[in-house]
A and B are shown apart, each in its own frame.
Chain A
Amino acid sequence: MNGITRLAWAPVVVIGFAAGYGAGPSGSVIAQRTNATVPALPADQSGALNQVNGVHQPPEFKSTIPAPLLPHRLRTMWPNQPNESTFWSIDDIRNAHRLLAEADRAGRTMDPNTALHHFPYWTRTHAMFIKHVPQNARRSLADQHLGYAQFIVIMGGTGTVVAGGQLTRPMTLDERGREIPGEMRGSAITGGETFTLKEGDWVSIPPNSPSQFKADSVDGLTYMVMKINAQLYPWDLTR
């Protein structure tokens, strides 16, 4: 009888140990309890389509959904962008080329961006500039810009652009002892394609593609270049 009683203590010891171990830091009950606190989503927020409070709803076949008016300038998708449109007539564009050509012939220096209203045009994502290449430009370097693409509209005059290929004798642009990373210059281009340009033509130049413009008319060649930032590139490095 005494032996049977001692044998009965064995399960008591096992049960006691198991309960103590389970309540301790290593116990799976606590481990599960501390991590099983992810709240369940309400049925209509669970991502299921056409569910309202867990009940399937037929889709609404509305032909139109009115859009609410949002207060202007309070939206945040386009920080640092203009609030109004800008229009340039072809008459003003041609006049800008004429002014630059006259300045050329008179030997006057003129900033091309002063020839047309709203230039230079800066935004966070893109910027627009006017360039003028005189026919007798003594030193016309080839450019290569690693940080932006270019979309170019010829405003007046005639000439050529060599684009693509490789810069001849490439070097990083140096401005008064400061190197401008990503702005490469060369004396010419080898292996590029030559395009003839006249008023109204467009040219698209991808980032890192060299280009070199030359004028072949007495009025020179005037063009507008839209520089579209590759979006990792600081604007103060663009030339």
Chain B
Amino acid sequence: MLRTGLLLLISASIGYVASAWTGPPAPFPGSLMAQGQTRPAGRGGPGVPDIPPVANPPLYPDLNQPSKPMHYSVDLVRRIHEVRKANALRGNTAQPAPGDPVLQGQSYRTHHFGVSSSGYGITHRQKYETPRPSPVTGVMSYYEDADQHEGVTDFLILVGGGGQFVVDGEIENREYGRDPWTQGRGVPPRNTGNVRPLLLGEFHGQPLKGGHVYDAKAGDWLIVPPGVPHWWLPTPREGMSYLIVKVNIGLYPTALID
């Protein structure tokens, strides 16, 4: 019995020495061990590949950005305002009919303009005849809800109609925005219920309290920095039409910009 134990001990010692001699096994691809293996260190540190720099990299790196200069006549945008106003007074909020004037906007990685959900490229707002639930938050009001965007600057150019801009201050009854396109293009965006994902960083609500109020007419400009609430109070029946240039703050996914 003693001999057996002694033999077992000696065999185990030889086995341990043999194990130390051969070293750790190669990791099996995809195994936890393989994932924990440290890759050779590049200049960026362990695990960061050492990619050589590109000579003279382009300053505008995205290949799918617009490359054609565009000109937009003030006459075109005034005609769009008149068409949209007439449509709104008839209760028509459909996409442009054949022959309607439309503005072909542009979308860059850094900014976009003229890509309003209406299809006309110009945003048009009207004051309701009687109070009704606002499109986003359902607050009973003559006006649509105010907006607040964490991720973009809005530069607005009023092209027709008028009313008031209310800016800065705080939005009461503020709620998160929701993705208007979850149900697909062509579906009315604001009334498809509650199954649309939240847009973190996009807020709506009303009224806007404690802000500055500006009387607005065609030709005026307004710039709204990121995170600043803004609200539109259009002139009854005349409405208010404007172009928005949205400039991304550079950290914000374009898909979240509403």
From known contacts A87-B221, A146-B59, infer whether A24 and B20 are also in contact, taking CB-CB under 8 Å: yes
A125 to B248, CA, bound (A): 8
Tell whether, in the assembled complex, residue A84 and residue B225 are in contact, meaning their CB atoms are under 8 Å apart: yes
Interface residues, chain A, CB within 8 Å of chain B? 9, 12-28, 31-32, 35-36, 38, 59, 61-67, 69, 72, 75, 77-78, 81-90, 93-94, 121, 123-126, 128, 146-147, 149, 151, 153, 161, 163-164, 182, 192-193, 195, 197-209, 211, 224, 226, 228-233
Which A residue sits closest to B221, measured CB to CB? A88
B22 contacts across to A, CB distance below 8 A: 26
9 closest Cβ pairs, A-B complex: A24-B19, A16-B11, A20-B15, A90-B219, A200-B74, A163-B69, A20-B12, A17-B15, A207-B60
A172 to nearest B CB, angstroms?
A: 13
27 pairs across A/B with beta carbons < 8 Å?
A17-B11, A26-B23, A31-B25, A65-B198, A72-B227, A78-B151, A82-B225, A85-B224, A93-B220, A124-B249, A125-B110, A126-B111, A146-B58, A146-B59, A151-B111, A197-B71, A201-B74, A202-B72, A202-B243, A203-B71, A204-B72, A206-B69, A208-B59, A208-B60, A208-B67, A209-B67, A233-B59
Which A residue sits closest to B16, measured CB to CB? A20
Does any Cβ of A come within 8 Å of B55's Cβ? no
12 extra interchain contacts, Cβ-Cβ under 8 A, other than A22-B15, A67-B175?
A12-B7, A19-B12, A24-B18, A24-B19, A26-B19, A28-B25, A67-B203, A69-B170, A125-B153, A200-B74, A202-B74, A226-B247
From known contacts A89-B220, A195-B71, A206-B68, infer whether A77 and B7 are also in contact, taking CB-CB under 8 Å: no
A61 contacts across to B, CB distance below 8 A: 193-195
A16 to B230, CA, bound (A): 79
Does any Cβ of A come within 8 Å of B98's Cβ? no
Tell whether, in the assembled complex, residue A77 and residue B150 are in contact, meaning their CB atoms are under 8 Å apart: yes
Tell whether, in the assembled complex, residue B15 and residue A19 are in contact, meaning their CB atoms are under 8 Å apart: yes
Which of B41-49, B124-132, B210-218, B233-241 is near enough to bind chain A?
B210-218
Interface of B is mostly: mixed
Tell whether, in the assembled complex, residue B167 and residue A229 are in contact, meaning their CB atoms are under 8 Å apart: no
A20 contacts across to B, CB distance below 8 A: 11-19
A15 contacts across to B, CB distance below 8 A: 8, 11
From known contacts A12-B11, A65-B176, A228-B111, infer whether A86 and B198 are also in contact, taking CB-CB under 8 Å: no
From known contacts A78-B150, A202-B71, infer whether A90 and B12 are also in contact, taking CB-CB under 8 Å: no
Tell whether, in the assembled complex, residue A211 and residue B60 are in contact, meaning their CB atoms are under 8 Å apart: no
Which B residue sits closest to A76, measured CB to CB? B251
From known contacts A147-B59, A230-B60, infer whether A93 and B221 are also in contact, taking CB-CB under 8 Å: yes
Instruction: Fill in one digit per residue for B7-42: 1 if any A CB lies within 8 Å of its CB, else 0.
Output: 111111111111110111100000111011000000
Does any Cβ of A come within 8 Å of B168's Cβ? yes
B189 contacts across to A, CB distance below 8 A: none
From known contacts A24-B20, A31-B33, A203-B71, infer whether A153 and B221 are also in contact, taking CB-CB under 8 Å: yes
Tell whether, in the assembled complex, residue B113 and residue A62 are in contact, meaning their CB atoms are under 8 Å apart: no
Does any Cβ of A come within 8 Å of B70's Cβ? yes
A228 contacts across to B, CB distance below 8 A: 108, 110-111, 247
B4 contacts across to A, CB distance below 8 A: 9, 12
Tell whether, in the assembled complex, residue A229 and residue B175 are in contact, meaning their CB atoms are under 8 Å apart: no
